[in-house]
Structure 1
Amino acid sequence: MGTARKFSKVLHSELDVHAAWLPVTNTFALGDYGVVSDGVFVRMGNIAEYGVSFTAAAGPQTKLRFRSEGTRVTRFVAGAEVPNLPQVDIEASIRIEFSTKDSFYVDAPTLTAQSMQDVAKVGAALRKAEGWRRKYRVVFSTYAGEGCTIISSREANSAFELSATADVLRLLELGKAHGGITLSGERAAGLEVIGASGVVGLRLFKLRLFTGSTDILRGEADGQVEFETADELEDDV
């Protein structure tokens, strides 16, 4: 299982959303449509191309703090281990140790949802749109994070260090840092997002095969991946 699929499973378990891949550094927006391939949404376009519009509104804020099992995080100021980072201008570091490959350290202190308010109406319009395919999935909600840090391991027993002054690293943990941080590691990280802002997760719907009503796609269960049905694939020929 690749890094993208692993990260998607993290978001399914924690927020019941699909991964926006690559996380943060993407341009996903409400109304994007595409397919799910190996558990990850692949954008093909936007429903505006079909003349379909919608009303958007912001939802409540949440946060995501996730550490894979076997992950150890320690903080150092001037070489000494500390429980919390002080607000001082002294060299410091955050050391992240992963015991297994494809492990994740995820900090998204502020996640804001933007959602379609009229999903059923959008679905009805798409049913009538010429050229619309049943296999298409539509983004009806995005979860955008501020100051996100996401690091993953390619190999087991990997260690990484975020280095800066203590006050900067303290802001990083609050989701408010803006640069001045370096990442070093004994092995290359599979994913490196340091204090960046952008879309982390997506919620999707599709049109039901027989009724044409909207079907909200839930998070995948362990070991399951969404594939197009035979009828959906036939719809594409």
Structure 2
Amino acid sequence: MKMSQKATKTWCLRLLPVLFFFISFVTYYYSFAILQSYGGTNKSPNSSKSLCAGWLSQKKWESLNFNISRQTRLFLKLEDFFWREHLSKLALPYGIKGSELLLLQILAVTANYQVPENIENLECRTCVVVGNGFAIKNSSLGGIINKYDVVIRLNNAPVRGYEEDVGNKTTMRFFYPESASYNPGLNNEPGTLMVLVPFKPQDLRWFKEILYNEKRVQAMCQKRLLEEPSSDLVG
């Protein structure tokens, strides 16, 4: 049944206050959020002041319910294994169950690497992850990428020759054995953290062989066995 013109007008008049309240609330909400994100100052949006501590960012972070803090360590250390009976219930890549001995051998001969101190001490850290697809080709985003505090690159993503699009700053490079570069210095900086992400025990064995020069030792032993005559063959 169609509403009469008078009834329609009455409903519109009733809805006007609701609509006005909704518009006012949205305007106030976003105005307050923007002001808070600039710290309540008169600085323009182009200010160099970081927006990480802004109201919106804080609320968004809290809504994610992450069980981590600024004190959470990113990398395993040798002391993480001492006096712990049940370190992990899951195998790689979700845990380290079954790979404890390999990790002990690896961590025993590696330094305790952490995020660079100049980044660790920042009140707010901005981060960008750069893959190795063609999504940003001819984008000229290199300068913007370099402005981030932490630039993470994946696998063997190239940098040299593509600086205008991808930048030349690399804080960390995540890789696994199959994507390891034969020349790490080609697309990384001297201070770049090379972060191995093991998906299976074989990945840890690969790394252990490199650290302990096991393949070289094995090759030398095989060569010596071939060169030295067997005592059984000597008459």
- TM-score bracket, shorter-length normalisation: under 0.3
Is the radius of gyration larger for structure 1 or structure 2? 2
**Higher RCO (C-alpha 8 Å, min separation 6):** 1
Greater fraction helix: 2
TM-score under structure 2 normalisation?
A: 0.22
Greater fraction strand: 1
